[in-house]
Structure 1
Amino acid sequence: MKLMMKIFIVFATVLAVAFYFFYNSNQTSPAAVTTVGGQLEKLAPLPSEVKESSGIEAAAKQGHYITHNDANNKPYLYEIDEKGHLVQTYKLKIPNVDWEDLTSDDKGNLYISDTGNNDNKRKELAVYKVNAENMQQVQPIRFTYEDQPAKTSKKDKLDFDCEALFWHDNYLYLITKDRNKKGIARVYRLPDKPGNYKAQKVGTIKMTDLVTGAAISPDASAVALLSEEKVHLYQNVSSVDKFYEGKPKEIKLSGAGQTEGIMFKDDNTLILTSEGGNLYRYSL
């Protein structure tokens, strides 16, 4: 009986070893795989000049980006490459009350969203239209929200803060950051031409996450809203005015921290920044 037990143990051990080598010979070593698709990839730390990156947009040169700091910083735009090197600093002669996001149009203009409104005391906000070939050529687009009451009540005290902006077809789209915890973000639309306007409310989004950035794909089929360590991706968009009517795909950005800046590098690739000081890439 003991002999039979020993034979069985030896036979089982041989089988286990044989299975192990057979199984692993048919698997790809994890160390040999470099999967970008569906995963967050850290490209580089941001330069020390960019202490609180709040927006990101493509620069004229391939592989270069424009970013900026949040409130209480100088009104500078910073051009960086994908290795996080500072290429150039553009010193603009406009105020940085609370710069929150960047976008661009199909004519090479940049738009700086000076729309942060943490205390809800700002009634007149601005988006600055900047000529990418001459950064000192700036045109203000000033606005108020059409549904913002003249006197702020406790009920809507934190309703009119905005950190998200994207451009499409001669219009700027702004998405508010609902710090009142009502679970609603508002979507507004503005003309992209200099002037004074009432921002038109085009809809609302039911979401509990605070929106910190926005971007639209080059083919306008997808809109991405950013929140802390998460992307809310609206795909197969047929009407940009109603992009939010679809159900978004939620993409977790674990470990990225306070993500603030987002843009589409192409229809399938996102570039992101965090206030923690990093540049990321996410391939859809």
Structure 2
Amino acid sequence: MRAPFSEPGPPGIVVREIDFTRDGNRILQQVSADLPAGQFTGVIGPNGSGKSTLLSMIMRWQKPDAGHILLGGIDVRAIRRRDFARIVAEVEQHSATVMELTVEQIVELGTIPHSSGWGRPLGEASDAVEEAIATVGLQSLRRRAWHSLSGGERQKTQVARAVAQRPRVLVLDEPTNHLDAAAGLQILDLARGLGLTVVAALHDLQLAAMYCDRLIVLDGGRVCAEGAPAEVLTPDLLAQVYGLDAEVMPHPRTGAPMVVMCGVAPSRPMTEGVR
């Protein structure tokens, strides 16, 4: 197999006609979408719409029943595992470790795909680790044990680990979970400012409107809208997909669409399910 990219820079992602069924349930149905190179694409939709499942397909954790995903024009499943790890970094919604590692050691895990061997001992700090810790602002926590961290501190540590990986694509599954409002904004500011191709599953519609260049809206495992936030976030869509009675107006300072929720629209009952 060949190295996936001969030129530097963040690649685009193309999703074409993805189908996926699990335990007899159709999770994704004919999902097609474009995630432009160097842009921040948000995947939004209610619980059970297939957001996390789509991200898992991009990350190759699950294999679609049909369809394909291209990264820089190459099917992701044809890329060598180590090459893929050098290009794509992920921050999962829930991260855990049974080992008693410090923040610095967890961040250092991000450098493994670029090392001479996968078994390089932890504790050998590199420039990438130092840069990632400084970028995310974890200097005061670097010696702390993972199990002593709060949920927000753990999330920041995982973001720093992804930054240390020096990827060209960053995949985020609910990156603002466990974070207070200011910390969530800091994480999305950071992700947007890295100059990477970023794809994030987001629940918060206002954050999606503020930070994303492009939105993909999933509903019942299908793409029901795709485009710039101002094009996608309309009162009709919010009523149809989320069951919300809402108004959308430009923010007085930024011009980004601002979702003002007025109540619940008479649509469908709230459901829980796989995302």
TM-score, L = length of structure 2:
0.32
The structure richer in helix per residue is 2
The structure richer in strand per residue is 1
Asked which structure has the greater RCO (Cα within 8 Å, sep 6+), the reply is 2
TM-score, L = length of structure 1:
0.31
